[in-house]
Amino acid sequence: MSKVDFTLSAEVRTDLGKGASRRLRHADRVPAIVYGGNKEPMNISLEHLKLIHNLENEAFYSHILTLDIGGKKEKAVLKDLQRHPAKPIILHADFLRVSDTEKLKMHVPLHFINESSAPGVKVGGVVTHNLTEVEVLCLPQDLPEYLEVDLTGVEIEQILHLTDIKLPKGVELVELTHGEGHDQAVAAIHKTRASKETTEESEGEGA
């Protein structure tokens, strides 16, 4: 997986409150906060247009970002976004500082590959995605931008579970780290009416 570099220029903000946030947004800036890492939370602001541009990249949500705050750089991950309910506007962003020596939990997307070549699809089955992302536990340097779910060899009515996902070194699935972890279904190939009719016809011919 190729890594993308995300660096955001930020400014410290000392003028707080709803009125101050409104003024920032009118100036095309987004109020935000960066916290964690055994440091005091810091109120910052970001350029709205650049943040929107970065948010268009799926990798931005599961990537170690660099916040350049007045020349001082902080490593962080995006933890929360508050969006306007009706307009393409970011109202607020939360960033969590990361340490190279401390594991973090992050949600990463699932990419489903080799669907069209799966045996179950070739006989008319349809792929169902039960999950689109999973929560991982790892050190920042091991954080994957996404995880692949390979459907090569998956037959009709076969189900893939969390334990079927091949994980990069140093990466764990949070759902499976607990003693009573639940091995959830991730994807499956199910019969459609057409595939059932095809199966019935082939069985009739063989009789």
pTM: 0.79
Q: Distance (Å, rounded) from C-alpha 133 to C-alpha 10?
A: 29
Closest CA to 75 of 6, 124, 121, 127: 6
CA neighbor of 36 nearest in space, from 80, 88, 90: 80
Where in the chain are all domains bearing CATH 2.40.240.10? 7-97
CATH 2.170.120.20 maps onto the chain at 104-206
Inter-residue contact 195 to 140 (CB < 8 Å): no
Q: Which residue has the higher pLDDT, 162 or 27?
A: 162
**Candidates 2.60.120.10, 3.40.630.30, 3.30.420.10, 2.40.240.10; CATH matching 7-97:** 2.40.240.10
User: What digits encode the pLDDT tens for the residues 72-105?
Assistant: 999 999 999 999 898 888 989 999 999 999 999 9
pLDDT above 80 (res 206): no
CA 99 → CA 103, 114, 156, 207, distances in Å?
Answer: 8, 36, 44, 65
pLDDT 10s digits, 158-186: 999 999 999 999 999 999 887 556 889 99
Name the helix (H) or strand (E) containing 119: helix 119-122
CATH class of this structure's domain 104-206: mainly beta
